[in-house]
Structure 1
């Protein structure tokens, strides 16, 4: 029997309830923060170097399909408000085995991503304090985020709201700075004049041919990890009928402003040939703009971006573990809530796993190598997550045709759009096999899924034995 884990009525094993305390501004900024990660601030330079100005097309294509997946998820969540998250949807429509695999995988993806982001925070803090050992700010950041998440869900909402606001303001300032520099035909000390003509100059569209264009998808997909957070946060929204559609429908606007407009400005001011592959192009643009504290400002913005991503990981991981407990797929202790309505034990377990992983990370000398690896693992898992959301949509259309007819928030194009989105995800998964740094993570991932299937079968046998013993005793 299916039990919802995050719904308004979701009651913990001790009678406490997971509360809807996130307001509209929290939901909006959580979904914005999910769409702006360290991938945009730090990874965009490498993508521009690979794909040239076709990177704008890459982000537009990925953004379109992510929007379609989120619309499919939104339609299903609003069709039954007892469905508190996309994990509930998969469990309900595809069965407990698929729900088990999705939830544990999503939990691990956020644990892995949070660890990577915390290490990046430590690296950025060393910009100001080079003598401080890396492990100290890494562990300090992790414990601060865990403590904030233990207070109440509103504390998470507030932290994410301000982190998100810093990122939004930074990107708006970047776009405005870029537009002013283009309007005044600003010429840099290196002799480059800011102009939109840099976008269409000969040889800049696909400088490395179709292979470079396709390679852009591999890295760009990391930037969109976390967009589905809208579905997790929806369970704790005060008014999901209004906040969820609004958050999903503004995804295209956010992609236009945060990704496409910022990349257009960067290429127009710096020109494709001068965009650094190993540094943040955001820093380069502000430096060209003549802002003396540009490096420090952007360092702070990217630091908060990484902290925001880690904060999202701590939040999502604990909620997924709480849901697993209520579906009898994790220990019952993880289903208990504190007096403030927060799944503290699930948080503590996730935090312990993160701390263990954090200790292992410092055995490997090159932190950024580890970050690339964990980002790839997270991306593979998110592709699987999005695929399961789409498969749930097909099952929902078969089993719940009346709900689809009644829906006021239908997926445009219905099954055709969902099928095209599924094909696109398979295409991106295949692209991950092209590059050595993403290929290794792709090859390791099947072991995780095989392990999960074995764990599920073992748990199913134990449950069956307990039920048989209970029936015999009665």
Structure 2
């Protein structure tokens, strides 16, 4: 039986040199936890934590979920929300003990083996560079509608270049941009919930909505118009809109007080999901009947604003969606580059990825991520139905793979933390290990259900194929290194 690997000392990257190193007493120094500069302020981390869970998918894709499940989509969001809360609690436990730019990839590396950290790290990087192309294209569509003189590909290029420059300047500039991007999203949804809530009960002056209260939740074929099975269909449709909650644990490694940032973000994830996801969708479903055609045609939020009588609702929402797109693109580039940086530090990516410039940013890791993002953008324009569709499908289930690895890793990391630095266990997973195993079971069930669902299978099979390929490479690398060490 092999002994458990030790946690690396913060600020010292020695996970594979054979020397067990215990956790340092501090929770981060002026140079960050990975040799990166601690350029993110507490307000940056707070807003990244709040806004990180809000993607453009909430604004754009929620209408399809409502059409598929009716009011029962609230149960779908609640089920996935609970899953995300559990996953974030587990990740928070590990990240508060040892903040790192590699986050769950590095923890998997230490707890499960190099193959696990290598595999999930590269899959996560792959997911976010594909997201870069998706978000750049989505933003370009909106901008072209406003200024058609610039072609869509031109806007995509402009957006990518501007945000690449932002990330290259300093981590502080990324944090500042994300602070304002996320702030706009947060204020917009909070205002939507308050204004919509008043209209639901007929308390909003000048509202065009009849103020039906909760009647729309049941007055059109009941709360479960498409049957209980539609709840699972809804789960598949909404699960990926929650991806991004974990970004704050990667960013914490470049903050002034990583442990405090992670603890605060972990403790606040429940109300963030309750207000921004469940709260806003609840308002939509109480303002309009679930089968109102405008929910799909215009988008759920635009349809809801129109029902209230908000003028220019479509353009207002376009501005908010563009902000969400830019926020997701900004964070996606940051996240992909930091994961590439961590892989480079551990010897699982080119060493140049781990080089930090004088301004504290891993320039090569950023540019490498951007290059692949540009390739994906090109594939979207030239081979949308073939190459780009494959990229989308093969990265589609990565969120579930990441959550599954986090849960399995936490099972082992709890013992490592307790044996080496019990004082670092400032965030604890509830009812361990019962809820951890329950979470693992839930994720495995969703993966299995995707295999029998026609739409889900189109994503799960390519994702499994890519994951298997990366895993084979990881195992082969481990065996080659082991053979070289024996010689």
TM-score, scaled to structure 2 = 0.87
Change (3 A) 1:375 1:258: farther
Map of 1:173-184 to 2, 5 A cutoff? Answer: 173-184=191-202
Q: Give 1:362's aligned residue.
A: 381
Q: Give 1:472's aligned residue.
A: none
C-alpha deviation, 1:268, in angstroms: 1.2
Contact 1:5 1:88 in 2 (8 A): no
C-alpha deviation, 1:25, in angstroms: 1.5
C-alpha deviation, 1:441, in angstroms: 2.3
Q: Give 1:148's aligned residue.
A: 166
Matched, 1:296 2:315: yes
Please give the secondary structure, in 2, of the residue aligned with 1:276.
helix
Matched, 1:287 2:296: no
Q: How far apart, in 2, do the equivalents of 1:211 and 1:270 lie? A: 23
Map of 1:226-305 to 2, 5 A cutoff? Answer: 226-274=244-292, 276-305=295-324
Map of 1:18-417 to 2, 5 A cutoff? Answer: 18-81=36-99, 85-184=103-202, 193-201=211-219, 203-274=221-292, 276-364=295-383, 377-402=394-419, 406=423, 407-417=425-435
Change (3 A) 1:402 1:17: closer
Q: How far apart, in 2, do the equivalents of 1:168 and 1:227 lie? A: 14
C-alpha deviation, 1:226, in angstroms: 0.7
Contact 1:8 1:18 in 2 (8 A): no
- Root-mean-square deviation (CA, aligned residues, Å) is 2.9
Contact 1:116 1:374 in 2 (8 A): no
Gaps of 5+ in 2: 15-33
Change (3 A) 1:129 1:19: same
Change (3 A) 1:122 1:261: same
Please give the secondary structure, in 2, of the residue aligned with 1:432.
helix
Aligned length: 463
C-alpha deviation, 1:333, in angstroms: 0.9
Q: How far apart, in 2, do the equivalents of 1:313 and 1:42 lie? A: 18
C-alpha deviation, 1:374, in angstroms: 5.5
C-alpha deviation, 1:303, in angstroms: 0.9
Deviation readout 1:333-356 (Å, 9 max, x if unpaired): 111111111000011111111111
Q: Give 2:23's aligned residue.
A: none
Contact 1:36 1:224 in 2 (8 A): yes
Gaps of 5+ in 1: 470-474
| Structure 1 residue corresponding to 2:468, chosen from 450, 457, 460 | 450
Please give the secondary structure, in 1, of the residue aligned with 2:296.
coil
Q: Which has the higher contact order (CA 8 A, sep 6+)?
A: 1
Contact 1:115 1:357 in 2 (8 A): yes
